[in-house]
Amino acid sequence: MATPQPAIFNEMGQHQWYVHLRRVDGADLGHIKGVITQTRAAAAEHGINLVIGFGPTLLADLTDDIPDDFQPFDTISSDDGSGREAKGTQEELLFWLNSPAKDQVWKTKFDARTALLGHMEVARETSTFIYGDSLDMTGFIDGTGNPEPDREPEVAIVPEGSPGAGGSFILAQRWVHDLDGWNEMSVEEQEKVFGRTKPDSERLDPQEDYSHLSHVELREGTTADDTKPKRNEIVRRSTPYARDDATAGNNSTEGLYFMAFCKEQAPFRERLADMYGLGDSSVRDRLTDFSNPASGSFYFAPSLETLDAALS
């Protein structure tokens, strides 16, 4: 029985850090493997939850245990003239670290990126945090529709007998919120955008055709028809981030670091296409009027056994 990386499901620490890396000319795979091994040891020593995800190119260079249908993230553009798109910025390696101790998270990722110099460069990194009781910065509770914890492995982990068994597909995106625009709306309008109430995340009935749930709550039959069972669920572990610009004035960037796991990649692609009006619904998710992804990548987090063999 292949063992999933435990940090996928462990209780998240308050502080997270996402580091996306790509190989540079002259990169030595043996050196990269060594640094990943050291980083795993450092995370274990300091009690840090560490998930290691590989993009399609690096995974193919490390193992033959490749899951079916593992594709790079291509930009998804709405065709309604709005110019809205989910930008694709595929990279090769993702470290997702989280812990109650931000200093240890920082040190562990800093040592990793420093040791990788000359072999991999950081494409981007973001630190995030848990806000209140699992709030998004819009003030809405994020995570209500997640599967119950005891069902998470069956939703997120490639089953035994399939290529990549024990592993998990990852979608990682940094969404940038327009909080000024969002906060100009009444609470009632905001609730219609998500399809849930603001104070307690109660599901609205009926749903607007532009609501977020009308695009992502996949059901047998029609999306968001809650008389039918859910299908192709995902496990979301998203957290907010805030960046202060080091310039005068009230400049800052806030949003949601969307992070989710699934035993297949297609349910991510289906939801993203739907959100941009390219799927079953030709109506774009209204959330995309208030938030835009600055980045988007797919990774695969192999089982511990595949990881150990790939790094040996």
Annotated catalytic sites, by residue?
142
Task: State residue 90 phi and psi, 5-degree precision.
Answer: -65, 135
Contacts of 248 (CB under 8 A, 6+ apart): none
Q: Does 272 bind ligand HEM (CB under 6 A)?
A: yes
Which lies closer to ligand HEM via its Cβ, residue 2 or residue 137? Answer: 137
Binding mask 175-194 for ligand HEM (x = CB under 6 A): x------------------x
User: Is 237 a residue that touches ligand HEM (CB under 6 A)?
Assistant: no
- Could you tell me the smallest distance in angstroms from the CB atom of residue 30 to ligand HEM? 36
Binding mask 113-152 for ligand HEM (x = CB under 6 A): -----------------------x---xxxxxx-------
CB 123 within 8 A of CB 20: yes
d(CA 112, CA 52): 12
Residue nearer to ligand HEM on the CB measure, 43 or 140: 140
- Whole-angstrom CA distances from 152 to 121, 148, 211, 223, 253 are 33, 7, 25, 21, 32
How many Cα atoms occupy the beta-carbon half-sphere of 252 within 13 Å?
9
Q: Is 291 in the site for ligand HEM (CB under 6 A)?
A: yes
* Collapsed DSSP state (helix, strand, coil) of residue 85: strand
Residue 77 interacts with ligand HEM (CB under 6 A): yes or no: no
Site residues, ligand HEM (CB under 6 A): 136, 140-145, 175, 194, 196, 201, 212-213, 216-217, 230, 234, 256, 258, 268, 271-272, 287, 291
